Amino acid sequence: MVNRQFVLASRPVGMPKESDLRMVETPVPALRDGEVLLRALYLSVDPYMRGRMNAAKSYAPSVEIGELMVGGGVARVVESKNLGYEVGDVVNLQMGWQEYAVSNGEGLRKVDPNIAPVSTALGVLGMPGLTAYFGLLEVCGVNAGETVVVSAAAGAVGSVVGQIAKIKGCRAVGIAGGPEKTSYVTEECGFDAALDYKAATDYPAAIKELCPGGVDVYFDNVGGPITDAVLANLNARARIAICGQIAHANDTQPSMGPRMWRHILVARAKVQGFLVFDYAGRYGSALEQLGQWVRSGQIKYHEDIVQGFENMPRALIGLFRGENLGKRIVKI
């Protein structure tokens, strides 16, 4: 049986090209005792993957040239020599960009199809949902009545951030690109307001208009001039979580902007970079809560599904063009 994989062919300079990833075919190895064979149902593309394609030091090791691209997936057990798994079980794991994976069970999480479609294990009930949950509730902390601003608000993380903020009694303001996304954010996800940064010219004034009482919490997925504008509108004791900087993912030289630390000082604000993995010990209870909110309809989600394994590179590249609404996943 043949396994198709994508390996890193070359390190991208700026925006990745499809040719930076190469499809290879390898045989699926025979199972040993204790192992399961998994067939991918859905694979994830996420902005963090761009960082792994660089040689530069980051919080996680780089993918080496010729190595399997990293990433999460939802897969079905198609063969099992592990007593903990039966054929047909659906699991979530870091399986990389490939159609089949062999696992000894380590790092697998069973996905219950009765809670929600199993694809949600890559989105609202997976890493992006957990990132929103811990970033908003633990890194920032929110109090009812506060104003919460989130960038990339129509994305997998941002859309959940605003909805949790609403559940907690906050005013939620999203920033997104284009009317389709801002409508999604306000009309589907129930945010109080949204800024279309593609239509705005004076970002600080636009933020001020949407947040007349100032900004108490900022969940930043983007960086760049949008973040500068939010920082110019901070309230005293504001909290800022830096979750991503997608505006800078493909920078080939440092992005220049106004130095904003005086605003952080004057507001006595707290800024923190965080990774969801720091909260790994508490995923279980967080997923339970997120699952309740999804089932009750208090959290809505949208999946942006790309068909076919062969389209993974272009699915990833599209994230940096802002193509996706909600969580982009590839159906295998």
Stretch in the footprint of its own copies (CB under 8 A) among 2-10, 192-200, 240-248, 321-329: 240-248
Helix (H) or strand (E) holding 25: strand 21-27
**HEC states along 169-190?**
CCEEEEEECCHHHHHHHHHHCC
Q: Within 10 Å of residue 83's Cβ, how many Cβ atoms?
A: 9
* 182 CB-near residues (< 8 Å, 6+ apart): 154, 174, 176, 194, 195, 196
CA dist 127 and 55 (Å) reads 24
Q: In whole angstroms, how close is the CB of 10 to its own copies at the nearest point? A: 22
Rounded to the nearest angstrom, the gap between the alpha carbon of residue 270 and the centroid of all alpha carbons in its chain is: 23
In the bound complex, what is the minimum distance in angstroms from residue 155's beta carbon to its own copies?
16
Q: Which is nearer to its own copies, 135 or 291 (CB)?
A: 135
Q: Please, which residues bridge with residue 61 across strands?
A: none
Residue 248 binds its own copies, judged by CB under 8 A: yes
Segment lying near its own copies (by CB under 8 A), choices 62-70, 81-89, 181-189, 254-262: 254-262
Of 29 and 61, nearer to its own copies (C-beta) is: 61
Question: Is residue 131 part of the contact set for its own copies (CB under 8 A)?
Answer: no
Among 256, 281, 296, 321, binds its own copies (CB under 8 A): 256
In this structure, are residues 170 and 147 in contact, taking their beta carbons and an 8 Å threshold? Answer: yes
Nearest alpha-carbon partner for 218 in 239, 201, 235, 232: 239
The reply on whether position 169 binds its own copies by CB under 8 A is no
Residue 313: Cβ within 10 Å count? 21
**Residue 244 lies near its own copies (rule: CB under 8 A):** yes
Q: Does 236 bind its own copies (CB under 8 A)?
A: yes
* Residue nearer to its own copies on the CB measure, 210 or 269: 269
How big is the site for its own copies, counted in residues (CB under 8 A)?
34
Is residue 252 a contact point for its own copies (CB under 8 A)? no
Question: Applying CB under 8 A, does 13 fall inside the site for its own copies?
Answer: no
First CA to last CA across the chain, in angstroms?
16
- What part of residues 271-330 is at the interface with its own copies (CB under 8 A)? 271-275, 278
Q: Site map for its own copies, 257-276, x if CB under 8 A?
A: xxx-xx-xxxxxxxxxxxx-
Nearer to its own copies, 191 or 218 (CB): 218
Q: Per rule CB under 8 A, is residue 254 in the interface with its own copies?
A: yes
Q: Which of residues 46-75 bind its own copies (CB under 8 A)?
A: 57-59
Q: Which is nearer to its own copies, 48 or 97 (CB)?
A: 48
| Distance (Å, whole) CA 152 – CA 249 | 14
Q: Which is nearer to its own copies, 59 or 308 (CB)?
A: 59
Which is nearest to 219 in space by CA: 152, 279, 310, 276? Answer: 152
- Cα–Cα separations (whole angstroms), residue 93 to 9, 132, 219, 264: 24, 19, 26, 39
Is residue 7 within 8 A of residue 55, CB to CB? The reply is no
- Residues at the interface with its own copies (CB under 8 A): 57-59, 220, 223-224, 227, 236, 242-245, 248, 254-259, 261-262, 264-275, 278
